[in-house]
Amino acid sequence: MLYLSAEKISKENFNKMSPAQPNLPYLTKTNILHKMPFHIVLIIITGVIAYSNTFRVPFYFDDYQYIIDSPFTKNLEYFTEPSKALSLTDSLARYTFKTRTVGFLTFAINYKLHGFDVAGYHITNLSIHIINVLLVYWLVLLTFKTPFFNLHPSSLNLHPSPSRLTPYTLRFLYLTPFLLTLLIIPLSLIGIDKPADSLIGDITEAARAKTNISRWDYLFTEFTVVVTYLRLLFLPVNQNLDHYYPVYNSFLNPNVYLSFLILLAIFGLAVYLFYYSKKSSSFNLHPSTFLTPYASCLTLLTLAALVIALSIASYQRNSLWQDKTAFWGDVVKKSPKKIRGYNELGLAYMENGKLPEAVSCFQRALTIDAYSEYSLDIYLNLANALDELGYTDDAIITYKKIIALNYGFETAHYNLGMLYYKKNMFEEAAEEFKTALSLNPLNS
């Protein structure tokens, strides 16, 4: 087999193989646009400006569960002695501590420094995201320096090699770090230090959908969900905190199989590009090989305009988070069939003293679904709002509905007893208080 020496390809001959490049001073590597410090400063400034109006955004949604009410936020001992966290009786707390240790640590440090002042939490969050953007930027630079993106004739080692690593094999090796990162999340959800039988059980549990629907229905629905997230990645419009996805029961549903075809097309394109890189030794994905300097300049201007447009859109979207009523109003407008948005909107109205609007939201949620996993909380919120409005009898009826749904809900018995007490119905009040104490003797 004959091999050509790369040394025989002179610089003059290599230049003949490449198209003539006009001399554009503004694209030379001595220009400030090519300096890494300039790129880093630009990334930081863009991030800070785009999210500068988020520092006073109040706590939302699961922030109460994972920050305000979490035992890990107020005690740094859980991080110096992790065994204390893993010995908690609350299984959800143990699981979240295991999978979100770094996040909980930042919450605990913020609480230690300034309590529940939201500004510190938002500054920490933005700093972490900017650092990750800088790491991605660095990764992209390193990636473009690998032979996978720079297989020019002058960089090919065409001598016989004892290892017999072909350019195709080298390309695959350069992808290995990216492939290994795919294991980070799965391995963080299972205990790799456990015996094989326990490990298999952890893998099964980690892969199990946290829902009552069948796995096939979950899979069919996920096709549409993944396509939505891909669309948001490239076209972040119509954003929504709580998307509504109907459960699909058949692959033949147009939304399901069209989403599947989109995902299949993306996968097929990736396979084709990888196969083509194997067949063609001149395969090169470096931008300089298919963009002329003029096209590079136009591409740069286009990307700059895109970054500015997305930054403005982010700033406008962030402004919505400053007002809970406006924010949850946007959620129910985009997801009118989800009861969670109506419940949160009702709570926002209650915070602002708009009790009639709150009652309307709670009633609307229960009209959509009176037996969901959130129904008890919504009934409880409705009863509280009715009581504050002075509709005591309606509040009593609502508490009785709660008890009918879940007799063991001690809060409902206690609150119902308080309402009976206000109406001078002392025997009924005493009966409810006794029931509440029997359900939770520690709450005496």
Q: Which domains does the chain have, with CATH numbers?
A: 336-443 (1.25.40.10)
What number of residues does the chain have? 444
Q: What is the pLDDT of residue 190?
A: 52
Q: What is the pLDDT of residue 167?
A: 57
Q: What is the pLDDT of residue 402?
A: 92
Q: What is the pLDDT of residue 30?
A: 58
Q: What is the 3-state secondary structure (H, E, C) of 26-65?
A: HHCCCCHHHCHHHHHHHHHHHHHHHCCCCCCCCCCCCHHH
> For each of the chain's 444 residues, which pLDDT tens digit applies?
444 444 444 444 444 444 444 444 444 455 777 788 999 999 999 999 999 999 999 998 889 889 999 989 998 989 988 888 878 878 878 888 888 889 999 999 999 999 999 999 999 999 999 999 999 898 888 877 766 565 544 444 444 444 455 555 655 666 666 666 666 655 555 554 555 555 455 545 544 445 667 888 888 999 999 999 999 888 888 899 888 888 899 999 999 999 999 999 999 988 887 777 666 555 555 555 556 677 778 888 888 899 999 999 999 999 999 999 999 999 999 999 999 999 999 999 999 999 999 999 999 999 999 888 888 999 999 999 999 999 999 999 999 999 998 878 888 999 999 999 999 999 999 999 999 998 887 665
Among 50, 130, 52, smallest CA distance to 312 is for 50
What 8-state DSSP symbol labels residue 246? P
| Phi and psi at residue 53, to the nearest 5° | -95, 20
Q: Which helix (H) or strand (E) holds 180?
A: helix 167-181
The set of residues, in sequence order, having a beta carbon less than 8 Å from that of 209 and lying 6+ positions away, is 215, 218
H helical segments located in 196-253: 196-207, 215-234
Q: Is 398 exposed, middle or buried (0-12, 13-18, 19+ CB in 10 A)?
A: buried
Q: What is the pLDDT of residue 47?
A: 95
Q: How far apart are CA 121 and CA 114, in angstroms?
A: 9
Q: What residue has token string 């590597």?
A: 29
Within its chain, how far is the Cα of 324 from the centroid? 20
Q: What is the pLDDT of residue 99?
A: 83
Instruction: State how far the alpha carbon of 41 is from the alpha carbons of 29, 51, 98, 356, 405, in Å.
Output: 18, 16, 35, 50, 57
Can you give the pTM of this predicted structure? 0.72
Helix (H, G, I), strand (E, B) or coil at 76: coil
Q: What is the pLDDT of residue 21?
A: 44
Q: What is the pLDDT of residue 397?
A: 94
Q: What is the pLDDT of residue 150?
A: 56
